[in-house]
Amino acid sequence: MESEPEAPAAVPIPTQRPDIAEPEPPAVAPKPPEKPADTGDNKMLPDPRSAELPADKMPEEEVACRDRLKALGVDFEEHKAEHDAEIGCSIPYPIVLKTLGKSIGIGSGTELNCRMAEAAARFAADIIRPAVKAEFGADLKSIAQASAFVCRPRHGGGKLSEHAFGNALDIASFTLSDGKTIEIGPVPPEKEAKFLDSVRKAACGPFKTVLGPGSDADHAQHFHFDLEPRRHGGTFCQ
């Protein structure tokens, strides 16, 4: 007689896992500090030239500059100081140019500081006049200016324009001794374009900023030359 099979051993009940503590929720990330309200302390620092006022006696460098202009044959008049504390414009020893040298006329109302006037006169005599002669076989009769001293910020606001210190000159066109006028614009005739390009390239160095057609919409119809002080005597030519 066969014996009955033994019942299978009971499956052991697994022991209960010990309770595992739930992880604590991560700490809330701290909020970044709020940007302090603009109390005016973060505004652009004023240009130190804005505070310049004329002294009782004209400085020696201004007198020497005027002597150099006379030696170049530049005809000019003294003008009263210009200063606007609210806007920041200042030109303590302005002059108004009547000519840029012997037989080179300049448009009326060309008020500049003496250093800028001298740079413009030398550039007209040493660069523009020879370029006119080489390209057109004529002499340079006059230069039409589009802007000289103007008490305003740059287009778009913010930093003051170099015009606000009489330190910039905008040129709209050149008139030659044969009556021809060369206007500055985005698409000049080929021969005029060659001349204008040579003048523009040569200006980068004697002037610290050179702008014109292609730079931006504001300079599509004229050249802008100025003597803005830059680090290490650098230039910005565009």
Residue 35 lies in a domain: no
Is the pLDDT score of 10 beyond 60?
Answer: no
More confident position, 21 or 80: 80
Q: What is the pLDDT of residues 71-89, one digit of tens each?
A: 999 999 999 999 998 899 9
Q: Is the pLDDT of residue 228 over 90?
A: yes
pLDDT for position 233: 78
Residue 162, both tokens = 């170099």
Cα 144 from Cα 138, distance rounded (Å) = 17
Non-local CB neighbours of 127 within 8 Å, separated by 6+ positions: 199, 202, 203, 206
pLDDT of residue 152: 78
DSSP state, residue 216: -
Q: In terms of Cα–Cα distance, which of 214, 206, 155, 148 is closest to 184?
A: 214
Residue 140 and residue 125: Cα distance in Å, rounded? 9
The pLDDT of residue 46: 79
> Which alpha helices (DSSP H) does the chain contain, by range?
60-71, 114-123, 129-136, 190-203
Q: What is the pLDDT of residue 35?
A: 44
pLDDT score for 27: 54
Residue 66: what pLDDT?
98
Chain-wide mean pLDDT for the chain?
86
Q: Has residue 89 been placed in a domain?
A: yes
pLDDT at 232 (0 to 100): 81
Q: How far apart are CA 161 and CA 50, in angstroms?
A: 11
CA atoms within 13 A on the CB side of 75: 9
- For residue 1, what pLDDT is reported? 47
Task: List pLDDT tens digits, range 148-166.
Answer: 999 977 665 568 899 999 9
Residue 84 lies in a domain: yes
Find the mean pLDDT for residues 128-156.
Answer: 91
* Count of beta carbons in the 10 Å neighbourhood of residue 215: 16
Per-residue confidence (pLDDT) for residue 204, from 0 to 100: 97
The one-letter amino acid code at 58 reads: M
Average the pLDDT over 212-223 and give the result: 93
Strand intervals (E) in 85-180: 89-91, 94-99, 105-113, 140-147, 168-176
Calculate what percentage of the chain has a pLDDT beyond 90: 69
22 within a domain of the structure (yes/no): no
- Tell me if 87 is assigned to some domain: yes
How do residues 31-43 score in pLDDT, each as one tens digit?
A: 544 444 444 444 5
Count CB atoms within 10 A of the CB of residue 135.
17
State pLDDT tens for residues 40-58.
444 556 789 999 999 999 9
Nearest of 233, 87, 231, 238 to residue 159 by alpha carbon: 87
Q: Please give the pLDDT value at position 197.
A: 97
Q: Per the domain annotation, does 70 fall within a domain?
A: yes
Report the pLDDT value the prediction gives residue 22, as an integer from 0 to 100: 53
Q: Is residue 191 part of a domain?
A: yes
Supply the range of the domain harboring residue 214: 58-237
The per-residue pLDDT for 9 is 53
Give the pLDDT confidence score for residue 84 in this predicted structure: 93
Quote the number of domains for the chain. Answer: 1
* Confidence band for 199, pLDDT divided at 50, 70 and 90: very high
In a domain, 216, yes or no: yes
